[in-house]
Structure 1
Amino acid sequence: MAAWDVESVATELLACEDERRDRVKFTDEWPELDVATGYEIQDLTLQRRLDRGEKLIGIKLGLTSRAKQQRMGVETPFVAWLTDAMILPAGDPVPQDKLIHPRIEPEIVFVMGERLEGPGVTAAQAMAAVDQVLGGAEVIDSRYKDFKFAAGDVIADNASSGAFVTGPVSVPPSALDLSTEAVLVEVGGQVVDSATGAAVQGHPGEALALAANDLATRGHAIEAGWIVLTGGMTDAYFATPGSSISLHFTTLGSVRIHGGE
């Protein structure tokens, strides 16, 4: 049995990502990998990403909807990092050559106008710091076999980060009701799921406030100009080669992603 620690898990996770291989969850061999240790690993992998030339551009929330929490057997949302290497330009296919077993989920995306720093941030204060709202998709991936993990595992793995794409419509938050903004998920021409913004902690602004307050406990803030993915509104759907997934938002336009080859 391997003797894991923060350094060795960070090294292994980045190696799995670079080599497109998955593995069993670390908590099978290192039960002490808890939430706090997971964030230590996550921050170390971020530093290594920055050291190799990536730029920090925002954050993402994971497991903010009950659907996602129930599927993963986890009860608490997580915060993780976004870098410029995770941007998927609109119209580009899923980068199958870089990902292990990608899945796509619809997201409400914020572009921050002002710095947001906890603790004690409310949803109203959080929304006042938002400049623009977009529809988007996160292409989640996991370095764990079958997407099976405990809380510490998935936090260490940067909350299953892969890639993300933003939609064509950008509006100020005052221009729509985010709790009722709906999305239809279409896979291969068939509608398979739907949800509203209320699926994300009751309102995506609550998720944003949660993120600011959580980051404050680790000495971080959400910076002006950052992108925030507020969490999957529905379950995530496999983006296999040759597949086609479309996300149709009420106000925020449509995002179409081809599964690539």
Structure 2
Amino acid sequence: MYDVSTRTRALALVAQGRSLNSVSKETGISRAAIRSWQTRIEPLPRMRQGFCSLCGPTAKPPEDRAAYAYLLGLYLGDGCISPGARSGYFLRIACADAWPGLVDACAAAVQAVNPSGKAHRVQAVGYTSVVGYSGHWPCFFPQHGPGKKHDRRIALDPWQQTIVDAHPWAFVRGLIHSDGCRITNWTQRSVGGVLKRYEYPRYFFTNVSADIRRLYTDTLDSLGVEWTRCTRNGIPFNISVARRASVVLMDAHVGPKY
């Protein structure tokens, strides 16, 4: 969600005769969002008023907890929740088209967690948004709130932490599938005067939010996976897993995107 001042600035660029595409590229805001602001600039209410009809005053965990742990990882990386019609909300997870298996896995998780059992795919340029509609999403994802995730505190509720503790690999897999990757690094060493090339696999996780990175590394610690911070330009946004035994664990439970 964007505040009114951000929306006003984007609309001012459009008023200058700029195309929606050029304004979107400059601001990082989707063309659909800018188009919708031309008819309504005020943000819709973010959260429901009163208790949830399914949960009451306290959020109830979803039944498929393994699917939820995976979807939680995807949401923290590439997901958002926005108000829809009446009291409903849209959960959207952006998945790159380069990984069709990821799109399928995301859709299956949304279907498993969504009380309606439904998930839809919305094609965009270079990616597919997996979308689920429900009035229940703010209960399942209390991290939903105003602004970008890295600009606000992100912490798990106790019931969420219980699920992550029970299904840590599903959570790690969701985080890697959203903001991570498995790559092959290489180095050269001189052996007997001959320069030889060595290749080795490595996992990276990159997220601007220190809270989300901490959730990732805390879970790796609980699994016995060794990790290091990779600082670039003085900013420690990257978490690396490169030790052979730890990569073997990650390969067995996470694997590359597909």
TM-score range, shorter chain: under 0.3
Report the TM-score, using the length of structure 1 for normalisation: 0.24
Bigger helix fraction: 2
Of structures 1 and 2, the larger Rg is shown by 2
Report the TM-score, using the length of structure 2 for normalisation: 0.24
Task: State the structure with bigger RCO (CA 8 A, min sep 6), 1 or 2.
Answer: 1
